[in-house]
A and B are shown apart, each in its own frame.
Chain A
Amino acid sequence: GAVVSQHPSRVICKSGTSVKIECRSLDFQATTMFWYRQFPKQSLMLMATSNEGSKATYEQGVEKDKFLINHASLTLSTLTVTSAHPEDSSFYICSVVSGGTYNEQFFGPGTRLTVL
């Protein structure tokens, strides 16, 4: 499957600051990446679809001005959590749609964000 990395793996920040998370597809050129948020003991919640060279598509209820997504190349998508607050603390995971038989999704290792 596709090899996906995320950076950083863990970040702690003060309330009001912005945090940027990078998602890289290491062995595959991905035109589509997804960003998910996962709270403890809960399922994956899709936040947005990141499309290379175009604007991201956000799910209902996700503020696009708060969660900025940039997919500037076929191997990199970034998620910036602007003016983070404690309620934004979560596990953020990206995924890549591979070019395999079923267009499978493979996930990055995730970023644990803690906002104090």
Chain B
Amino acid sequence: GENVEQHPSTLSVQEGDSAVIKCTYSDSASNYFPWYKQELGKRPQLIIDIRSNVGEKKDQRIAVTLNKTAKHFSLHITETQPEDSAVYFCAVRGSGGSNYKLTFGKGTLLTVNP
């Protein structure tokens, strides 16, 4: 099955700095890569996603890049704010017969210090 590795497990930055979280995956047929933000005790919220036919996608301060050859994708948050503090999960979905199942990384606890 799919194996997703996420790094780092914790990340602490100063307000205004950028934060980068990286995930690698094992199945080269995977075609959909979402990122979720989860605040303590709350539901995971979809913040950005990318499909395998696109190399980069941006939404205001958040961007995701995908390198299919190397089988890794990254979340970039610029101009971080304290409210960005949360746990971020990457996920991967395979193609064909996976019935939309996602495999999640172990998460990154991001702390933005004021």
Contact = CB atoms under 8 A, between A and B. Distances in A.
Q: Which one of A1, A49, A57, A105 has the greatest number of beta carbons of chain B within 10 Å?
A: A105
Interface string B6-29: 000000000000000000000000
A61 B114 CA distance: 43
Contacts, number: 49
Contact of A43 (B49, B100, B104): B104
Interface residues of A, number: 21
A105 B43 contact: no
B102 interface: yes
Contacts of B107: 42-43
B46 A106 contact: yes
A32 B102 CA distance: 13
Interface of B: 32, 34, 36, 41-46, 49, 51, 89, 99-107
Given A32-B100, A49-B99, A102-B49, 19 more contacts: A1-B46, A34-B101, A34-B102, A42-B107, A44-B44, A44-B89, A93-B44, A97-B100, A102-B34, A103-B32, A103-B100, A104-B34, A104-B46, A105-B34, A105-B102, A107-B43, A107-B44, A109-B42, A110-B42
19 contacts: A34-B101, A42-B107, A43-B89, A43-B107, A44-B44, A44-B89, A44-B104, A46-B103, A49-B101, A93-B44, A97-B100, A102-B49, A102-B51, A104-B46, A105-B46, A106-B46, A107-B43, A108-B43, A110-B42
